[in-house]
Amino acid sequence: MRRMSDPTPRKSLHLRAAPARHRAIRHAAASSGRTMTAFVLDSACAAAYQTLAGQPDFAMQDADWEHVLGLLGRPAADRDRLCALLGRPV
């Protein structure tokens, strides 16, 4: 179900997991303060991007490339934590 404030169409992923894996994912999501959906999608996308980055070439639709460029051009959401991680003053 789409929210009225978010006009972006969404696709569904249907996953089955063994109970132990489900518990681990649920616990990790709760520990990180995210929903299971956000946790699974963030983790899967990070793995996908890392896998694709290891390839010499990969194809991407123009709209997807524009989305990546837009993400790269955004300011960091939590600059204080980022600066602490990088060891630089704010």
Residue-wise pLDDT for 33-60, tens only, equals 999 999 999 999 999 999 888 877 767 8
| Average pLDDT of every residue of the chain | 85
Both structure tokens of 27:
């616990």
Nearest Cα to Cα of residue 28 among 45, 40, 16, 18: 40
9-29: average pLDDT: 94
Position 5 scores a pLDDT of 65
Dihedral through CA 9, CA 47, CA 23, CA 6, nearest 10? Answer: -20
Prediction pTM value: 0.53
Domain boundaries, the chain: 19-86
pLDDT at 82: 73
Structure-token pair, residue 7: 């006009």
* Residue-level pLDDT at 1: 47
